[in-house]
């Protein structure tokens, strides 16, 4: 287990999407986040107290979470130097980057000498089976997206909390590093070996008999040419009864690929339902989730209304507007007029 509370690392980041792990923790587990660490050239903030490593240790922080992401997930020299300084100050390190802390001899040596721990949350467990596509007991919802980083984890967490508030048992099943840090378990799906993608999801969402829901965090997009294989295996392993399509309305191209445009919501939903039908022919769409954080409230509400009308599905920004209409559709309660 990773020792808490956390100091959240922003470093030199100036890309809001690149700090989504740190921000996710600050939003969904504020009680275990004592502060943020950022260099002077970082103009982003999580609205947590800014601290250096010594200050964080003084207020009780146990672990520095390297909660930043970048395509390919490399550990740069600046990151290694900061991690080394944090170890020296008395912190353990947790990282969700592809490149592992354990593969950096300088950090391994230093942690060993100081008696500190290095946690690579992208290391999958060793006993993941090949998927078998067999129907499992229980109900499952999967979030899917037009692109990477469009709000799938937030939407999934909001749905889990809202279901619990209605008295319906619901478990968030994490598939990415932020989700794992939030939930305390899950699978780092993008680090799983390709033949085991669907099997990994079958493993984290086994038979359930309590009439509750597994809310499974989606990854990538069927329309992202770098990562669609992950999204495909996730759909097959999840065998979802319901999917919610997530989208960022101001995204102009696929994340990291300026030469790739986004799919339409209609095409994206149809493709996801088609792929999902292989392991659950009864899959249905129950809602659209928009990340409207860059729009005014009036713009956001108008866009959600238009989208709901076009798509014939409830549409909201789960974080700012809730997910009640989506839950009505999911649970079969008639929507209010």
Binding site for a second copy (CB under 8 A): 71-72, 98, 129-134, 189-195, 197-199, 222-223, 225-234, 236-237, 256-257, 259-260, 271, 274-275, 278-279
Q: What count of residues does the chain have?
A: 337
Q: Give least dist CB 264 to a second copy, A.
A: 13
Q: Give least dist CB 194 to a second copy, A.
A: 5
Q: Toward a second copy, which CB reaches closer, 265 or 304?
A: 265
* DSSP code string of 66-122: E----TT----HHHHHHHHHHHHHT-EEEE-SSS-GGG-HHHHHHHHHHT--EEETT
Q: Toward a second copy, which CB reaches closer, 121 or 163?
A: 121
Q: Toward a second copy, which CB reaches closer, 159 or 189?
A: 189
Name the packing angle between helices 228-238 and 265-276 (round to 10°). Answer: 50
Q: Give least dist CB 236 to a second copy, A.
A: 4
Which tokens belong to 131?
């998927």
Residue 105: which residues within 8 A CB-CB, separation 6 or more?
none
Q: Toward a second copy, which CB reaches closer, 132 or 294?
A: 132
Q: Toward a second copy, which CB reaches closer, 131 or 314?
A: 131
Q: Toward a second copy, which CB reaches closer, 108 or 278?
A: 278
Q: Give least dist CB 321 to a second copy, A.
A: 32
Residue 239: which residues within 8 A CB-CB, separation 6 or more?
133, 135, 136, 140, 276, 279, 280, 283
Q: Give least dist CB 103 to a second copy, A.
A: 10
Q: Give least dist CB 175 to a second copy, A.
A: 11
- Dihedral, CA atoms, 239, 244, 250, 251, nearest 10 degrees? 0
Q: Give least dist CB 56 to a second copy, A.
A: 31
Q: Give which of 175, 198, 177, 188 is closest to 129, Cα–Cα.
A: 198
Distances (CA, A) of 200 to 130, 191, 213: 8, 11, 18
Q: What is the CA 208 to chain-centroid distance, rounded? A: 23
Q: Do 155 and 244 meet the contact criterion of CB atoms below 8 Å apart?
A: yes
Q: Give least dist CB 289 to a second copy, A.
A: 23
Peptide bond into 5 cis (omega under 30): yes
Q: Toward a second copy, which CB reaches closer, 131 or 318?
A: 131
Q: Toward a second copy, which CB reaches closer, 170 or 273?
A: 273
Instruction: Report the alpha-carbon distance of residue 183 to residue 59 in Å, rounded.
Output: 24
């Amino acid at each position: 287990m990773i020792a808490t509370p956390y100091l959240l690392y922003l470093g030199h980041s100036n890309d809001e999407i690149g700090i989504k792990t740190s921000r996710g923790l600050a939003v969904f587990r504020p009680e275990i986040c004592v502060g943020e660490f950022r260099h002077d050239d970082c103009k982003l903030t999580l609205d947590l107290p800014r601290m250096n490593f010594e200050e964080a240790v003084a207020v009780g922080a146990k672990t520095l979470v390297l909660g930043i992401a970048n395509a390919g997930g490399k550990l740069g020299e600046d990151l290694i130097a900061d991690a080394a300084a944090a170890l020296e100050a008395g912190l353990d390190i947790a990282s969700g980057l592809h490149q592992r802390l354990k593969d950096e001899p300088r950090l391994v040596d230093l942690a060993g000498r100081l008696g500190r721990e290095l946690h690579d949350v992208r290391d999958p467990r060793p006993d993941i089976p090949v998927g078998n596509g067999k129907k499992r007991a229980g109900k499952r919802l999967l979030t899917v997206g037009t692109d990477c980083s469009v709000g799938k984890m937030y939407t999934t967490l909001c749905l889990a909390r809202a279901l619990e508030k209605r008295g319906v048992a619901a478990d968030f099943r994490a598939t990415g590093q932020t989700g794992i840090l939030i939930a305390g378990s899950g699978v780092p799906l993008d680090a799983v070996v390709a033949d085991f993608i669907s099997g990994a999801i079958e493993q984290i969402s086994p038979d359930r008999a309590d009439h509750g829901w597994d809310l499974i965090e989606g990854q990538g997009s069927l329309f992202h040419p770098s990562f669609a294989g992950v999204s495909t295996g996730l759909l097959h392993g999840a065998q979802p009864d319901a999917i919610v399509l997530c989208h960022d309305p101001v995204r102009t191209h696929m994340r990291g690929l300026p030469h790739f445009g986004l799919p339409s919501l209609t095409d994206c939903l149809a493709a996801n339902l088609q792929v999902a039908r292989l392991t659950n022919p009864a899959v249905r769409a129950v809602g659209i989730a928009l990340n409207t954080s860059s729009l005014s409230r009036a713009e956001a509400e108008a866009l959600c209304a238009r989208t709901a009308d076009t798509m014939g599905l409830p549409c909201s920004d789960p974080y700012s507007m809730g997910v009640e209409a989506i839950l009505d559709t999911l649970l079969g309660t008639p929507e209010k007029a």
